[in-house]
Structure 1
C-alpha cells in the first residue's frame, strides 16, 4: 500500500495544470514571451524535466526553479550553492516555499491584488530602468538585508539576493510576473530583459525547472558521506505532497488512500523519532537571516525605550546631544555608541522607510553586532 501511495504521489507531481508555465506563446499563463526574450538575447538555456545533480555544474549552470511542482531538496541545493553555484527560487506557496523556510524566511501573503513593487536600489543590474513591477497575487517576505524589489505598503521583499557559501541564491516570491498575461505590465518586461543580459554575461547555461524529477547528488559530496535522517522528515515531505494532491486533484481514490494511510503517518510521527533512512547530508543553508531579524527587532525595541527615557530626561524632547560628552556617566566606548545612535533616536533616519533603511544598513548592522553595548547604555540611562 505504501508503494502504491508513493506511485500516486509521484504521478501527481508529474501532472502539471495544463498551460501553467508552459512554453506556449498563446496561453495566458504560459512562458512564451518570457522565453522569447532569452532567445532574442541569445541566452543559452534548456527547459529540463529531469534534474540530475551529478550532471549540473556550479561553474557552468544556473538552476532556475520556477514554481516547481517537485520538492526541492534543500541539502542538495545548499551543496550546489556552497560550491559556487547560482540558483533562482521563484515561488509563492508551492514546493519552493520550503527553501524560503529553510533560510528562516517565512512567506506571507500581500493583502491586495496586483500590488506594485519598487526597486530598493537603482544600481543593481536587474532593475536598471525599472520603476515598477506589477505582481499578481504575490507572497512577500522579510529579510534583514536590502532587497532588490520590495512592496512599499508592507515594506516586505519581492526579490532578494542572498549569498550562500561561495554561491548566490535569488529569491522571488511571485513567479507569475513572468507569464504571458503579466509580462507586459509595469516594467516587468524590462526586468526580464535585464535578467537575460545578466544570465548571458555570466557565461552560464540557464536550466529552467518547473515540472521535473530529480536524482543524484552534487559534486563535493563523497559517496560514503552518509548520515541517518529521521523518518519524521520523510513523513513531513509526504504531508507536503499530500497537501499538493488535495489542492490539485481531489479524486475519491486518492483521498481514500490518504485517509487509509493516516494511522501509519500518525504512528510514525509519534514513535518514529529514532527510526532512520540513509541519506547523504551535505552542508546546510545557513545565512543567519532569522537571527539577524530577531536582533534587528531587539535593537529597534531598545531604541524605542531609549527614546522614551530621553524624552523624560529632556522634558519632552528626545535628544542625546546633552549626553554625548558626559564622561562621568558613560565610558568612551559607550559614548561612541551613543554618537552612532543619535540619527536613529532623533528621527534623522525613519525606520518606516525601506529606502532609508537600506541607506542605514551598514550602520544598523554594526549596532546590532554591538547589542551588549546598547543594553549597557540602556542601563546607564535608567540610572541617570
Structure 2
C-alpha cells in the first residue's frame, strides 16, 4: 500500500484569491530586532493543524507543497490502496476540496511527486519470532545461539524493546527503509477516532502483535537517479552524463507533453507527475529493491557448504582455510582457548569473514553447526487484517469529520473575504 505521499505544484495553477487566502492562513514565524520590534519579514512554516485534527503538511509560496497519508481521509493507515492516482486524488480532493473548501484546484494527476512511501506488512506467527528476527537483522546477539540473516549491512536501531524501529539509511535525503512492530506503533499512535477508547485501541493492536511493517521511503532524488532502471525513461538515457542527462529529460518532457520538472541547482532532480508515474512505475519494484533480500528461501549450511562459501568470498584460499580452522578449534578446545591462540588482528579478519559466510557471533562461540536462517515466504506471510475493527474506525472518523472541519474554519483558519 501507499503509506504516505508528498506532492508539489506551481502556485500559478491555483486561483489567485484562493492562493492569497491560503498564504494568509499559514502559520508565520516572525523575527524581531534587539528592541523587540517586529521586522518586516517572516517565515511561512505552513498550515498549523491542531492536535485534534489528523495532520497534514501544506506550504504555500511560489510552489505549493502537500504531504499526507490515507489517515487523513480514511481515519487510519493500517491498510490502503496501492493505486498511486487513486491515493493522490483522494488526498488532494480531501485537503483542498473538503478541508479547505476550495471550489477549484489542480487535478491530482498534474502534481509532481516529491516522496512516495510504499509499505507491506508480514506476520511472523508469534511476537517472539518477530523479536528474534529483529534482533538478528540488527546484528544483536543476546547470548542465544542464532543464525544470521543474509544481509550485507545490519539495520540501525532507533529505540529498543517493543517500540523500536530498524532503519536503513535513516535521515537520508535519498532513500530510507524502516521496519517496526505495527502493534506497538498502534499503541503509541492510535487512530484519532478511537484514541480515547483504550480497550478499542488494544483490541486493534492485538491483531498486529506479531506483524512487522516494512516501509520503503523513496524520495524524488532516488526516483530521478533510477528513472531508467525503473522504466520511467527510455533506455538510451542510461548512456548520458549528468549534464546531458538532465537536459535531455527536459526535452523529453516537452516533446512528450509530460508536465514534469527538472530542477536547477548543484544536484538537479527530475520530478515526475502523478499521472505519468501511475502508468509507468511498478510500485512493487520500489519495495522489493529495498527489502527483497530479507525474503530469500532458506539454505541449509553444513561444513562443506560453509567451506565453499569461505573460499568464494575470502581474498585468498589461505585466509578461507584459516577461518574454517578457527571454527574447528572452537569445537575442540572452546572459544576462549581458540581465540587465545589466534592473533588479535587475525581474529577480527576471521570474524568478519565468518559473518559474511553466515556464521553469527553466537554460532562462532559455540562452534555448533546451524542452518542459515532467512525469512521464508512459506513461514512469513503478507498480513491482511480483519475488516471489522477497521470499518468501525473509518465510520467513527467519517462521523466526526464534518464537525472537525467546521471547527477548523471557526477557530483556526482566517475568514474568507467575499
TM-score (norm 1): 0.26
Larger radius of gyration: 2
TM-score (norm 2): 0.24
